[in-house]
A and B are shown apart, each in its own frame.
Chain A
Amino acid sequence: MEQPAVNDQPRVHQRTTRTIAKPHVMEEWVGKVFTTLCVTVLVVTIAAIVYFVASHGLATFITDGVSLSGLLSGLKWDPEGDIPLYGALPFIFGSFSTSLLAAIIAAPLGVCAAVFMTQIMPGLGKRVLQPVIELLAGIPSVVFGFVGLSIVVPFLRSVFPGQGIGIAAGAIVLSFMILPTITTIATDALSNLQRGLKEGSFALGATRWQTIYRIVIPTTLPSLLTGVVLGMSRAFGEALAVQMVIGNAPHIPHSLFESASTLTSVITLDMGNTITGSTHNNALWSLALILLAMTFIFVFIVRFLERRNNR
């Protein structure tokens, strides 16, 4: 972007002598106004979304009289029952367990792919493996869900007891969705590693594997973890693909292969069917608020890791 500007310099000079530097003033002005406008739109939008979610989500506690501790620790979710019950613990449990399990599956895959692409076979890795993994990021989540429904669920059903649905199926589908995030960040981190460190290690007589797991991985660990946390936060917010394979029974399951729910799956299932302003609808917004709070925490963790990385 900078290169053409430098080349333009002589021409600009000629023009300025004729029109007394006016284009620069205009450029400055247009740039300033445009940037300010964009940033304003962005900030206003984000603030509006947070306000909207919060105002609906908090109404559950303020106007509808549902207790926060009841929502966070209640085990039974039955908003349409004769005595409505709003216990969201099964969803919170489901969200955490699926995204954690997805990260546990995807982290080794992603980091190993990154090691392969940067340390072992940079040529082939960068040319073939990286585009293939990045391709996964462009696949719509409904396709992941359908593949999960057609391949993962029947496979789990035939191998393990149960109906194949549940946290295991959700986590497997999610792990493939977050693989590009983890791999891309890990690849960047590994390729930005100072050459001197590796060369020093080799010079001391360390083998390639000793260098990788004694030097390369420990030095880049905060960046690798950043990738994993970002992947987890994506898994946490993913709705459709998980909803299709997890079963959606509002209970804490007894095994990985029993129907369970996540915060996002219950929101997508019920949001359109409920009346805006009803307690059931507000309770769904409260779940969205929990999701939002969790995302803030994930962002905070990423920031913390980045600061450690820079030190």
Chain B
Amino acid sequence: MRKALFIVVALMLTIGLAACGSNKDNNGGNANSGTENTGNASTGGNANAGGNANAGGETVSGQVLAAGSTALQPLVEQVSKKFMEDAKYSGVTVQVQGGGSGTGLTQVQGGQVNIGNSDIFAEEKFVDADADKAKELVDHQVAVVAMAAVVNKSVTVDNLTKQQLVDIFTGKVKNWKEVGGQDEKITIINRPSSSGTRKTFEKYALGTKSEDVAGSIQEDASGTVKKYVTDTPGAIGYLALSYLDDTVKTVKYEGVEPKEENIVTGDYPIWAYEHMYTKGEPDAATKAFLDYMVSDEVQKSDVTELGYIPVGNMKVKRDAAGAIVK
């Protein structure tokens, strides 16, 4: 009996160690893949794999590892499943991990992953001493996500101006009656200061940084934010459009409703790109996946289905500084 136990434990350890080892190999392979394409492609192990590396994109093989933003993760996961089922790309394995925008950008910059998912521009994350690091990364914008200010159903206000939002989120206004609502204390449901969602909201809705007001609530997960807004009387928060439903009340911004037709024209300004960054130009397998991501097949079904707006629909464009370019 003891022997059997030994064998089981030993086996588990061996498998565990082997998995660690092969993982390292993968990372090594990925790190080099920028320079050595064929090395990555041949891991497919097919008889014709050698011929495929440069063969005009008929079939590609290899491994793609994407990590980062949890807001973008559901989309990338869904698309990666469809991608791997497609016979054309049968040789490619795509793995998707979360971890947050910061992790995604750090890891793609360090070469541990092929794609770094991020809610904000790399230039906004890599600042000061790290500013050069953003230049090595190539941006692939795959979708647009819009946000709206939401309030608890008890709140009678249905429109807020930019100035009113600033006053609320910096703690100057503490009661709904000061912005034309009922007599009730405002409870702010904010995101943590490092959150990409908060940065987007601050940049495009407030135009200034919000304060961590005493008594305010901070949550990172959209589901938790929504639950707090639903349950707390007098609460205000902000959510991506895909999270909106009847349990919370959506507020207009400067009189403009957060709807796709207002967003694509730029009339409603609280939106941001979802980015998939690669370090330098992507290798064949990664490029195939990124191309698939922006193809009509994905943009018209999965992207809209999950509440994002296809990049192609946007009539305006933005650069990293937030300026609108036509």
- State whether the Cβ of B326 lies closer than 8 Å to any Cβ in chain A: no
Binds B, one of A76-84, A127-135, A226-234, A285-293: A76-84
Complex interface residues of chain B between 226 and 276 (CB less than 8 A to chain A): 227, 231-232
Residue of B nearest to A27 (CB): B3
- Specify which of A250, A266, A273 is in contact with B100 (CB 8 Å cutoff): A273
B214 touches A251 (CB 8 A): yes
**Beta-carbon contact of B216 and A249 below 8 Å:** yes
A110 within 8 A of B: no
User: With the chains together, A149 CA to B1 CA distance in Å?
Assistant: 46
B-contacting residues, A3-38, CB 8 Å: 4, 30, 34, 37
Establish whether residues B192 and A248, one from each chain, have CB atoms under 8 Å apart when the complex forms: yes
A258 x B193 contact (CB < 8 A): no
Is A270 part of the binding interface, using a Cβ–Cβ cutoff of 8 Å?
yes
Q: Let me know if B194 and A251 touch, CB within 8 A.
A: no
Tell me the minimal C-beta distance from B170 to chain A in angstroms. Answer: 13
Q: What is the CB-to-nearest-CB distance from A59 to chain B, in angstroms, rounded to a whole number?
A: 13
What is the bound-complex CA distance between A277 and B105, given in angstroms?
Answer: 12
Contact with A along B95-110 (1 / 0, CB 8 A): 0001111110110001
From residue A146, how far is it (CB to closest CB) to chain B in Å? 9
Tell me, rounded to whole Å, the shortest Cβ–Cβ distance linking A30 to chain B: 7
- Chain A, Cβ-Cβ closest to B103: A272
For B, the interface residue count at a CB cutoff of 8 angstroms equals 39
Q: Interface residues of A, CB < 8 Å — how many?
A: 46
Chain B hits for A78, CB < 8 A: 193, 212
Annotate B1-21 by CB proximity to A: 1 below 8 A, 0 otherwise.
110001001100100000000
Which A residues from 240 to 291 make CB contacts under 8 A with B? 243-244, 247-251, 253-254, 258-259, 261, 266, 268-278, 280-281
Q: Mark B272-310, 1 if CB is under 8 A from A, else 0.
A: 000000000000000000000000000000000000000
Proximity string of chain B (66-100) to chain A, C-beta cutoff 8 Å, 1 when within and 0 when not: 00001000000000000000000000000000111
Is B209 part of the contact surface with A, judged by Cβ < 8 Å? yes
Interface locus among B46-54, B135-143, B217-225 = B217-225
- Contact (Cβ within 8 A) B99 A272: yes
| Alpha-carbon separation in the docked complex, A269 to B212 (Å) | 14
* Distance between A64 CB and nearest chain B CB, rounded to angstroms: 10
A269 and B218 contacting across the interface, CB-CB below 8 Å: yes
Q: Which of A77, A79, A162, A276 has the most CB of B within 10 A?
A: A276
Q: Chain A contacts of B232 at CB under 8 A?
A: 157, 163-164
Cα–Cα, bound, A266→B1 (Å): 47
Task: Take A34-B6, A163-B187, A280-B194 as given contacts and tell me if A272 and B214 are in contact as well, using a CB distance cutoff of 8 Å.
Answer: no
Residues in chain A near residue B70, CB distance under 8 A: 272
B interface residues with partner A (beta carbon < 8 Å): 1-2, 6, 9-10, 13, 70, 98-103, 105-106, 110, 125-126, 130, 187, 192-196, 209, 212-220, 224, 227, 231-232
Which 9 A-B pairs have CB atoms at the shortest separation, nearest pair first? A272-B100, A273-B194, A248-B218, A269-B192, A276-B106, A80-B193, A274-B102, A270-B194, A251-B214
